[in-house]
Each structure stands twice: as structure tokens, then as C-alpha cells.
Structure 1
């Protein structure tokens, strides 16, 4: 059986946000998980074809003025209609690096994902306030959970 594909689309404009993405990828590529291919792309390089080839998606963004990053919004703008009728039920997870509370960012992503009829696998992981080292551990756990869930057929 071919491996399932997990797509990670994350906007990482700083060393701290890059550390969060690296942690997600470390978890998703854990040796404990077999049979899941992890593909990571920045939002401006990812497109509908990447989503259509995947069985799950992890989205990552910064909180920008109470909204998702412009790069992630651009990804959705280009992918929404090509994916609309073809990816219903796609499991997804979200991590947000938020300087404030992340509420608007989570609401915006959830609104688009709901329109696509994607299925959240857990509440968004919001890394709020000043950067803390435990953010990376939470992101690693998110990546592992998503990959293991895909492998086991739970998602």
C-alpha cells in the first residue's frame, strides 16, 4: 500500500516560527510512524495539486493583525475552488504563533476550512505571548498526532 501523504503548509518568517515548523516536522517524521510521507511547503509555493495529493494537512501561520498571514490567505485563495468538491472530509490541524490571543486567526482559518468541509482533528494549537521553549514540544506533539492518526486510519 502506498504511503499516505501529510502536507504541512506553514508561514515561518522568523527563527522562532521556523523552530515551530521544525518541531511539527520532527513529530510528523518520527520513526514511530511508518507509511506516512511528510511534504512541507511554504504557502506561496503550495497549491491545490499538493492538497489533492494529500490525505491530511497541517497549517501553520503567524497572527497578523488578528488574522492569518497574507501568505496562508494566498494559498487558500489559489486552492479553494480547485479543492472545494474534491477534498471534503480532509483532516487538518492548525498551529498559530500569536503575539496576542490568536482568536481572529483561528476563526479565519476555521471559516475557510469549514467552507471546504475539511475536518479539524483537534482544537487549534495557539502559541500565545512571548516565545517559550515549550511551544516546540507542543508542535512536535501535534505533528506526531497527525501523522500517527493518518497511519492508523483514525483521520
Structure 2
């Protein structure tokens, strides 16, 4: 079922990129696929012996991985943080509209190799403003921080 969902979304995206009109069923899939993904996640948890939906909140999406090791004792960490809003202008029935969705925040930073981060420690860092690393400078061209948004709005 997950494969079919992914293939259907691929077809929809290809149609959108070539300005081919979507069917009502395709619009329904766009509206409902988040719930379908949640259902897959809950089924996977149940298969692992976890039967309560609150388990989703005990397993946050924030993950960290060391992707490169420096012989001088550091690793390069790459992590995804909390979900942020994303806004995009998209054509719908020949009219440009603003669409809202979700995207993970992204981080990369050096870290001592002898103190590698776990997902749990990473989550604790994200929840603590004192320990949270800065996002890469190249992400500033398309993101707005809460502080910046407050000043602009």
C-alpha cells in the first residue's frame, strides 16, 4: 500500500509540473495522504507491540547522525529538528494560490567524536535554547526565525 501511495503521489507531482489538470480523486489523495502515512506509522508501532497512539509522541521525528569523522577527533553531525511551516505559491486551476505544508528543520555541525550524540540527547538539545546549534548559514536564504518573523510582522 505504501508503494502504491508513493507512485500515485509521483504521478500527481509529474502532472503538476507539466500543468496537467488533476482529477478530483487526485485532489482527495493530496488532502488525505497525511492521514494514510499516520495509519502506516500506527500499524508499524502495533506490529512492534505498541498499541497506543500516544506512542507517536514518544517517538519524535528529530533524528541525528554522524556522517563524517575527522581524524582530529570531531564528527560532522547532521540532524533534523522540529517541523516548520512551509509556504509555497502554487497554480491551482489557473490561479496562483498560497499552499501551506510542513518541512523538517535541518542542522549540521561539528561535534566531539568521543561524545557522539544519540537521538535522545539531540532531542534534549533541541528543547534547550542554550544547547541548540545554529542552522547552517546557507539555510538563512529561505527560512525565517521566530525572532525575525516577529520583527517583520
Higher relative contact order (CA closer than 8 Å, sequence separation 6+): 1
The structure carrying a bigger strand percent of its residues is: 2
When normalised by structure 1's length, the TM-score is: 0.25
Q: Which has the larger radius of gyration?
A: 2
When normalised by structure 2's length, the TM-score is: 0.25
